[in-house]
Each structure stands twice: as C-alpha cells, then as structure tokens.
Amino acid sequence: MFGCLVAGRLVQTDAQQVAPDKFVFTLPDYEKVNHVVVFMLGTVPFPVGMGGAVYFSFPDPAVGQVWQLLGFITNEKPSAMFRICGLKAGEGGAHPFGMMAVSAPSVAQVGVSIESLELLAQQTPVSTSAVSTVDSFTQFTQKMLESLYNFTSSFALSQSQMTPNPSEMYVPASSILRWYENFQRRMMQNPNFWKT
C-alpha cells in the first residue's frame, strides 16, 4: 500500500502493519538521513474520505520515543517529501502510535496512520519538516532514472574491451541516455503522462 524512499538510497515497500489503520517503516542510521519520501504504491487506494497522516519517530534518551507529524498523503496527493534532519528532540505531540519499542538506539521510524481527510486538514505538522516545493513524485522519478543510468553505466565497456558471448545481450549506453532524456522531458511537460 505504501512505500518509503530514504534519501535516494533505500526504498522500502514492506511496511509493518501495527494496527488495522497504522503502518510503520524502520529507518536504521537515521542520523545520516536528510529527507524521506512517503508514497502510495498505486495498488490499494485510501478509502473514500480518508488519507494518511505521516509521522516520524526517533529515540530521545531523555524522554523515549518522540513522534512528530510531518504531513500527509492522499489519493489526490499520493506522495510527499519531508525533511527530517532539522527535527529537534522533545518537540513531539499527540500521535496515534502509542509507545512502540525500538530494537536499536539509532533506529527511527516513519509511521502512516489512516485518518479522515477532515482530521488531516485540522492537524499542524512540525514546521521544520517543510515539504519540498518540488513535486516529490517527479523528484522521486528523476532520482530513480538517474540511479538506473548510473547503475547501467557502471557496467559500460568499450567495443575493444568486449569479449564475444552469444548468450549475453548488450545495450548501448547511448540508447539508455536517450531514453532517460526523453522520459525526463516528458515528465517536465506532463508528470502524469505515464498514466495514459
């Protein structure tokens, strides 16, 4: 139902369901993370009139787990990017997750609580988590495309380095670059082009 992208390096789609309407992602080494993107997978929409409040929790030695409201996602806004590096200890507020144990001291959590859109509209996220002004889905897509190109480029060989192998198929790096540039151009023109 949900996914979580951590600073362009780790994508999680296996949220732990801790209650019928609550899901949690674990973020190891959260001290090294600046931003997280929470997104719907597109497989199961929210029920009509519902959305997901997104919370961040980190261990605070003085008070235990601290949960902070980052913002929300809905069927109309299926992804959002949040800045977590500026959050301060002790600034948590009311939250729906209760006291959940964390196994390691450097592990944080991102929680999604399914709530009514009316309730979501009344909540105020922590100000330091300011959602990026760039559409997070577009940004996620661009980062994913860059990652694909960088990954495939790491296997690049010149023709003189290649050894014939009839069972292996090779794709010119230039064709991947052309595809990347074309996809990026189409995303800039219409971020929803892929839906048609």
pTM score of the predicted model: 0.61
Q: Are 109 and 24 in contact (CB under 8 A)?
A: yes
Average pLDDT over every residue of 163-185: 81
At 130 the pLDDT is 55
Angle at the Cα of 118 from the Cα atoms of 190 and 130, rounded to 5 degrees: 55
Whether residues 26 and 114 fall in one domain: yes
What's the total number of domains in the chain? 2
Whether residues 84 and 179 fall in one domain: no
Whether residues 14 and 61 fall in one domain: yes
Reading phi first (left if > 0) and then psi (alpha if -120 to 50, else beta), residue 190 is in beta
Question: Which one is predicted more confidently, 31 or 119?
Answer: 119
How does pLDDT run across 29-88, given as a tens digit for each residue?
A: 777 777 888 888 878 889 999 999 999 887 777 766 778 889 899 998 888 888 887 776
At 164 the pLDDT is 83
> CA 2 to CA 14: how far, in whole Å?
8
In eight-state DSSP terms, residue 44 is S
Whether residues 116 and 139 fall in one domain: no
Whether residues 45 and 98 fall in one domain: yes
Whether residues 97 and 20 fall in one domain: yes
Whether residues 113 and 161 fall in one domain: no
Whether residues 156 and 88 fall in one domain: no
